[in-house]
Amino acid sequence: MDPRLARRAAAAAFTAGLAADVLFDRVGLGINVPIATVAILALVIWLAPNRRPADPLDLWLPVVAVMASLGPALRTDPSVVVLDLGLVGLATAAWSLAMSGVPVTRRAASSVILLGCLAGLVATVALAWLVTRSGADGFFSRGFGQLGRFAAIARGVLIAVPVVAGFSLLLASADAVFGRAIDEAFRLPIDLGEVVDRGAFSVLAAGLIAGPLVLAAGGAGLFSWSGLGAGAGTSRAATAEVEPARARRVGAVETLTVLAAVDLLFGAFAIVQVVYLFGGVDTLGVVGMTYSDYARQGYFQLVGVVGLAGLLLLGAHEVVGRTRALLVGALALLGLTSVILASAALRLALYQGAYGWTELRFFVAASIAWLALCLALAIGLLVADRMRWLPHALAASAVAVTLAVSVLGPQAFVIRQNLARVVDPGLVAPGGFAGFDLPYGLTLGEDAVPDLVAALAVLPPAERAALLRQLQLRRAELTGDPTTAGPLSWNLSREQARSALEALPER
């Protein structure tokens, strides 16, 4: 596709996305559906190269699309509306292909099915492909080039904005004090959440609308529609046209700018952790919650931040290579990420100390242990200039942690630790839950059964009676299950469960 046509199509898609926000965001389905359908069909006709005439046998497709779009304006039955919307989508996509010069109706059924599958693949990447092709002729580079030596930094700042925004949202949701600081720093006279919601809706709508536009422009050159059924692939011309765009990768300055921006954000978060979480400064007056409530939140988000930071480091090293600037920025990122991981570990420990273990908390703890190992490996390999071995080291450490988890047995571990809290209330944090969560324990599988049987000796009479009834039912289920009776279904945990259940009284 010609970059100028790609720019027009991208502009049309984003403009239509904004219009779709007005038509559909928090608006019920009705006459807005046929309005949007007619508008998209008109855009398809407008963007078709050379206004190619469609095959006469395909002229029924836009008629069907418009007729089906009337369904949501006439009916409220969800089943009818879903069917009508599906028909609108299929007819619009088929008409887009027809406008690109690809006959649809006269094809064999098998070819139409394959054509639809390939068209679906194109539509899923259409918006990203349009944005990429829009700058293939250097249109945007020329604009940046006028900034002189600051152009690379300007590009880096633009790239850093969504990256830092994503990390900021995760960190703000993980830490109430940091979230309050972010909110105060970026307090605007508008509802930022409303802007983000509407912007996300518009971009999503633009992505959906870009599909028919790209298909009408010739399938984006991603597939060759001619001779469909015998195979399809990119043409040499399309490949040659795309290669220059691929060659123009983000440079070192841009990458280092993003890395520095993330380092600053992580540094600010680390200061909050040192002062409020590790230092124990009063949080009641700052965010209106006690220290215990403040500390027992956010470990899921922080584990996600650490994982994303690792991906950022790998990408930065791949783009920049080993330079002094990268080494300084990467070590700073790894050091600050270690603080974030320590914050996640402490928060999980405090939460677990108050409320006990669950299988989910066990796996979060295992992931924290793995990420800590990954950070240590990354620091060592970065200093030793052996970063090419980092993926291998991460994979090997993941295998080791996975095997360790399998040997330990999460369900049995959870029950044992929670029973230990019942036996020794000193293991329970002040204000925490000192009992045994029997309903949760009964949701676990055979791995937990021997420890549940052992729990009969330490639980209060009422809970002991309830647990005994459920274990007797579990014994009947295991005994009567024919799928586990043969030697080929032998399982150690299941056999240990059976042995433990056999010792129970009959009544």
Is residue 170 domain-resident?
no
Is residue 163 domain-resident?
no
Instruction: Give per-residue pLDDT as tens, 118-148.
Output: 888 777 778 877 877 777 777 666 655 555 5
Contact (CB, 8 A) for 259 and 312? yes
| Both structure tokens of 220 | 């984006």
Quote the crossing angle between the two packed helices 252-272 and 151-174, to the nearest 10°: 30
Is residue 23 domain-resident?
yes
Q: How many CA atoms lie within 13 A of 471 on its CB side?
A: 28
| Both structure tokens of 392 | 């291998």
Q: How many angstroms separate the CA atoms of 357 and 414, rounded? A: 5
Chain-centroid distance, C-alpha 6: 28
Q: For the chain, which residues score pLDDT lower than 70?
A: 1, 50-52, 139-149, 151, 186-193, 219-251, 280-293, 295-296, 507
| Both structure tokens of 224 | 């060759």
Instruction: Classify the phi-psi angles of 356: left when phi > 0, otherwise alpha if psi is within -120 to 50, otherwise beta.
Output: left
pLDDT of 139: 67
Residues present in the chain in total:
507
Chain-centroid distance, C-alpha 104: 36
pLDDT of 146: 54
Q: How many angstroms separate the CA atoms of 85 and 100, rounded? A: 23
Is residue 65 domain-resident?
yes
Residue 42: exposure state from Cβ atoms within 10 A (0-12, 13-18, ≥19)? exposed
Is residue 266 domain-resident?
yes
Contact (CB, 8 A) for 126 and 133? no
Those residues whose C-beta lies under 8 Å from the C-beta of residue 189, and which sit 6 or more positions away, are: none
Indicate whether this model's pTM tops 0.85. no
Radius of gyration for the chain, computed over Cα atoms and rounded to the nearest angstrom: 30
Amino acid at 181: A
Q: Which domain holds residue 445?
A: 412-502
Is residue 169 domain-resident?
no
pLDDT of 41: 92
pLDDT of 373: 93
Q: How many angstroms separate the CA atoms of 131 and 200, rounded? A: 17
Whose structure tokens read 């599909």?
211
Q: Do residues 404 and 428 both lie within one domain?
A: no
For 479-497, give the DSSP string: HH-GGGSSGGG--HHHHHH
Is residue 158 domain-resident?
no
pLDDT of 233: 39
The domain total for the chain is: 3
| Both structure tokens of 492 | 């150690």
Q: Do residues 89 and 211 both lie within one domain?
A: yes
Among 408, 441, 472, give the residue marking a domain's end: 408
Is residue 404 domain-resident?
yes
Q: Do residues 66 and 96 both lie within one domain?
A: yes
Q: Do residues 228 and 310 both lie within one domain?
A: no
Contact (CB, 8 A) for 439 and 467? no
Among 365, 389, 408, give the residue marking a domain's end: 408
Q: Do residues 417 and 401 both lie within one domain?
A: no
Q: Do residues 310 and 227 both lie within one domain?
A: no
Q: Where are the alpha helices (DSSP H) in 273-383?
A: 284-287, 291-295, 299-320, 324-355, 359-383
Q: Do residues 243 and 256 both lie within one domain?
A: no
What DSSP state is assigned to residue 433? -
Q: Do residues 99 and 199 both lie within one domain?
A: yes
Those residues whose C-beta lies under 8 Å from the C-beta of residue 400, and which sit 6 or more positions away, are: none
Q: Do residues 350 and 214 both lie within one domain?
A: no
Q: Do residues 122 and 202 both lie within one domain?
A: yes
pLDDT of 141: 63
Q: Do residues 377 and 419 both lie within one domain?
A: no
| Both structure tokens of 24 | 């559909």
Q: Do residues 360 and 319 both lie within one domain?
A: yes
| Triad 224, 227, 228: Cα angle to 5° | 70
Among 389, 408, 427, give the residue marking a domain's end: 408
